[in-house]
A and B are shown apart, each in its own frame.
Chain A
Amino acid sequence: MNSLNDIQTQQPQGMSLSAFNACIERLINGEAMLQNQWVIAETSDMRLNRSGHCYTELIEKDAQGVTVAKVGAAIWANNYAKIYHKFHDATGQVLSTGMKVLVSVSATFHRLYGIKVIINDIDPSYTMGDMARQRQEIINRLTADGIIDMNRQLPWADVPQRVAIVSAAGAAGYGDFMNQLQGNAYGLQFYTCLFSAVMQGAQTVPTVLRALDRINSHLDRFDCVVIIRGGGATSDLNSFDSYELAATVAQFLLPVIVGIGHERDVTVLDYVAAMRVKTPTAAAEWIIQRGAAALGHLNELQDAVVGAVRDIVSQAKEHLAYFTSMIPATARRIIDTNSIKLDNYAGRIPLVANSLIGNQSNRLDRIGDRIGDSVTRALQREQQRLQALDDKATLLSPLNTLRRGYSLVRVGDSCVTTAHQLHPGDNITIQFATGAADATINHIDNQQ
């Protein structure tokens, strides 16, 4: 093969572009290193044309987001379906613009269309890893901001009956949600209000944020917010991995239920919302179950009321029956107890009486003895006194005075103690100790 230098030497006058491009073509297309090479890039401006070929640009950005490499790429129609499904089956995502991809490419050069890389294969695990990394970065930031758990910590209404819905108006998911809610088997009433938003693509974040902002101005009208999307084909969920949206949901003042994906799809919203369910139908079912639980609780309370009434009445009856049955037994016991006491007392009376009588008898004896002594002493004293009086009487008796030589003069029966009582000629009787003599008064001397 001729080198470029050889050609220039042989064609000093210049060569045709086609010949030049043919050289490039031979160089590039023949270079093994440029065939089936695994390349990390980001998709940009991806589009599918009518013939089924998919065109995109593969780009590389530096840390500041400035594009530092770019090349046009294509997935030929005959390979596109295989790559599309491989990627979708693994990631749940549609291969589209703005995705980090690991693709097997071959460089081709066409003398008319220039250089292009053909995407032969794709490794979805790289994209999944990259999405997970981006999601983790957002989660880390929400955690560092201290807001990741805020919505989950909000209290729920006992029954979230007033529901603000963020969804696309005509979406199958919205219809599923409404049908499920309104047709619930418990006859529960729910009050819904739709706040429309675009639920896929670039308009997702701004329209959902606008819907949340509108709900925010009617907070007291609602018990919770439901963000739902679903039905039809699975489409791009990347839009929901937005820090701004997640931060708004996390800090929203009503509990948020998110039902925007399927089993395998997880977005950042699932980490911040008060409740995450898989589908709109599941969101409706979760709300219905809250209502059903409330009805169940009411039934339990009703049973508790009935049970309490029954228990109290039954307990009162039992008390009455108990007291009724206790009265004879209690009376018998009281009688028995008192009977025994009486017997005890009766038994003790003779003992106590004997003891008391004995004591009193002794005391009487002692008193009797003391009385005898006292009487004897008193008699002796009286005898002595009488003797003394007798002696004194004897000593003072008129007879003894007469015996000593004195005489007693009487006029009639009256004793004469003074001469004035007498008059000359009076007959007097003079009484002596032994015998008496009558005399007549001759003279009276009244002088002392």
Chain B
Amino acid sequence: MEENNQMTYTQAVTELEQLVQKMQDPQCSIDNLTAYTKRSKELLDICRKKLTQADEQLKQILADIQKTDN
């Protein structure tokens, strides 16, 4: 989970796109399905969180910059 927390949106969405591509491949084995689906769900959650949940630390950093520079 530590690794997931460090992921950027771009990294997460790129991995997700690659995973979907693998799953859509006719050669995709049913044996991999559970692992792929589980990882897809994790990545979707990471991406949605990045877009819609506030990063308070980042907010504070930018507020400090604004205060200092203006």
Contact = CB atoms under 8 A, between A and B. Distances in A.
A305 interface: yes
A305 B37 contact: yes
B6 interface: no
Q: Chain A, interface size: which category? A: 20 to 34
Main secondary structure of the interface of B (DSSP, over half): helix
Band of interface residues on B: 20 to 34
A158 B10 contact: yes
A158 B23 CA distance: 23
B32 to A, nearest CB: 9
Interface in A357-389: none
Interface string B52-70: 1111001101110110011
Of B20, B37, B55, B63, chain A has the most CB atoms within 10 Å of the CB of: B20
Given A301-B44, A308-B24, A313-B33, A189 B53 contact: yes
A308 B69 contact: no
B30 A195 contact: no
Contacts of A301: 13, 16-17, 20, 40, 44
B62 A302 contact: no
Contacts of A305: 19-20, 23, 36-37, 40-41, 44
A191 B23 contact: no
Contacts, number: 89
Nearest to B61: A221
Contact of B24 (A189, A214, A221, A304): A304
B51 interface: yes
A190 to B, nearest CB: 10
A312 B28 contact: yes
Contacts of B40: 301-302, 305
A304 B24 CA distance: 8
Given A295-B51, A304-B23, A305-B41, 9 more contacts: A159-B9, A193-B63, A194-B66, A195-B66, A295-B48, A305-B36, A305-B37, A311-B24, A316-B30
19 contacts: A162-B62, A186-B52, A189-B54, A191-B58, A191-B59, A192-B62, A193-B65, A195-B70, A196-B70, A221-B62, A298-B44, A298-B47, A301-B16, A304-B24, A305-B36, A309-B23, A312-B23, A312-B28, A312-B33
Interface of B: 9-10, 13, 16-17, 19-20, 23-24, 28, 30, 33, 36-37, 40-41, 44, 47-48, 50-55, 58-59, 61-63, 65-66, 69-70
